[in-house]
């Protein structure tokens, strides 16, 4: 394998979805993983930057390629929940969550075993464990025979990639390979939880909602920094990822806490120049002309809004927008994940007209 350089040749390979046809590509990607190299892969949430979770060198490469602080731990992906005990000490509550939500967009923090290098967990005694449902991610873990450390495959601080093109924009020349398996179904990263016995704390909200977790865990708490990311900077955050500015496009995101009518009034009064409006299809027709429309989908469709968010934030930059206006979203159900990402993109600033 080529030694690590920042101007390496990144191979871009397409996955057809037909297992026999994809076999040679998957074998090649698995060999890159076993040799300590990096492959960007589709998952059901966002594209991940995959490296072996058993090799310290791979973790260092991931941090370097992303430009990510090395105290922000990586999620380790396994083929199925039964493999959790190979890298961690699963608990009874883990088993119950796993039966209901794995494979899928749920990550559980567990005490780690010694075979996972400290470099993977940022020196923490715990490891975040996830079983992706995406078949490409799943097969890469199986064929390589390695658990896979994979953060989102973006440059640190930028919105997570939901297509292989996004990965190419951020990481071309910095990683060995990109597997293009089409756009991601969910569009936001997995739900991350910590367990204390039967009590579950949501460290990062995702498609497995608080309501869904409550059907399995006796109590579910949402960490304060989920709703107020500015709090994560103070003291020791519950999850290291909380303290970093995230998901931000270059354009300034301005969140307005207002009804539809008041929002339209605010835009009329304040918006000028090269700006965008991140709004539902229905709302778009109600707003004064002049802004570029960044459509989140039908009104009230949280799932579609989540699927589109990161791609729309990237589009804002492609359009060279100076700022993007959006209404403050609700926080129930799948909207909590949307709220958490957009409030971070806005640097926690909310305008209350
Ligand atoms: O959907 C996802 O989870 C994607 C795909 C690629 O699987 N991965 C992802 O990884 O979002 P990353 O590294 O961008 O985010 C990992 C999050 C961070 O917020 C980190 O702080 C938290 O998980 N985390 C990881 N290990 C942890 C641990 N031991 N304790 C607490 N939080 C942890
Ligand atoms: Mg990330």
For the cut 70, the answer to whether the pLDDT of residue 261 exceeds it is yes
Q: How far is the CA of 20 from the centre of ligand 2 (A)?
A: 32
Atom of ligand 1 nearest to the CA of 242: 19
DSSP 99: H
Q: How far is the CA of 151 from the centre of ligand 1 (A)?
A: 6
* 3-state secondary structure at position 50: strand
Ligand nearest to the CA of 150: 1
Q: How far is the CA of 54 from the centre of ligand 2 (A)?
A: 20
Atom of ligand 1 nearest to the CA of 72: 21
Give the list of residues 6+ apart from residue 120 with CB closer than 8 angstroms, or none.
53, 56, 59, 73, 74, 76, 127, 149
For the cut 80, the answer to whether the pLDDT of residue 331 exceeds it is yes
Dist. CA 353–CA 347, nearest whole Å: 18
Write the residue with the smallest CA distance to atom 20 of ligand 1.
241
**Ligand 1 binding residues, C-beta < 6 A:** 43, 45-46, 48, 72-75, 107, 109, 121, 124, 126-128, 130, 150-152, 189-190, 192, 203-204, 239-241
Dist. CA 175–CA 330, nearest whole Å: 38
Nearest to 121 by CA among 46, 175, 174, 54: 54
The beta-strand segments (E) located in 155-198 are: 177-180, 191-196
Query: pTM surpassing 0.85?
Result: yes
For the cut 70, the answer to whether the pLDDT of residue 335 exceeds it is yes
Query: 238-258 pLDDT, tens per residue?
Result: 777 666 556 778 899 999 999
For the chain, give the mean pLDDT: 94
For the cut 50, the answer to whether the pLDDT of residue 99 exceeds it is yes
- Percentage of the chain surpassing pLDDT 90? 86
Atom of ligand 1 nearest to the CA of 241: 21
HSE, CB side, 13 Å, CA atoms: give it for residue 90: 20
């Amino acid at each position: 394998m080529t030694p690590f350089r920042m101007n390496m040749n990144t191979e871009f390979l397409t996955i057809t979805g037909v297992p026999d046809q994809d076999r040679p590509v998957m074998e090649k990607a698995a060999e890159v993983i076993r040799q300590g190299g990096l492959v960007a892969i589709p998952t059901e949430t966002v594209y991940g930057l995959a490296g072996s979770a058993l090799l310290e060198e791979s973790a260092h490469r991931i941090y370097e390629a992303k430009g990510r602080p090395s105290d922000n731990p990586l999620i380790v992906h396994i083929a199925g929940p039964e493999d959790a005990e190979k890298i961690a000490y699963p608990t009874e509550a883990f088993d119950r969550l796993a039966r209901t939500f794995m494979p899928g967009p749920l990550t559980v923090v567990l005490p780690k075993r010694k075979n996972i290098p400290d470099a993977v967990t940022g020196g923490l005694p715990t490891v975040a464990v996830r079983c992706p449902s995406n078949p490409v991610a799943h097969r890469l873990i199986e064929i390589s025979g390695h658990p896979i450390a994979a953060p989102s495959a973006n440059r640190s601080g930028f919105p997570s990639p939901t297509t292989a093109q996004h990965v190419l924009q951020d990481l071309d020349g910095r990683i060995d390979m990109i597997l293009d398996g089409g756009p991601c179904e969910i569009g936001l990263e997995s739900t991350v939880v910590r367990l204390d016995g039967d009590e579950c704390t949501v460290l990062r909200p995702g498609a497995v909602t608080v309501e869904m977790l409550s059907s399995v865990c006796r109590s579910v708490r949402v960490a304060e920094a989920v709703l107020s990311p500015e709090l994560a900077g103070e003291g020791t955050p519950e999850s290291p990822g909380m303290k970093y500015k995230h998901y931000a496009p270059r354009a300034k995101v301005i969140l307005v806490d207002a009804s539809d009518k008041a929002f339209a009034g605010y835009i009329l009064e304040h918006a000028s120049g090269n700006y965008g409006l991140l709004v539902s299809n229905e709302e778009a027709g109600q707003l004064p002309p002049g802004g570029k429309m960044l459509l989140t989908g039908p009104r009230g469709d949280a799932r579609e809004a989540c699927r589109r968010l990161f791609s729309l934030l990237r589009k804002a930059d492609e359009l060279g927008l100076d700022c993007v206006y959006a209404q403050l979203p609700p926080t129930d159900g799948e909207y909590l994940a949307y709220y958490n990402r957009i409030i971070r993109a806005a640097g926690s600033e909310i305008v209350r007209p």
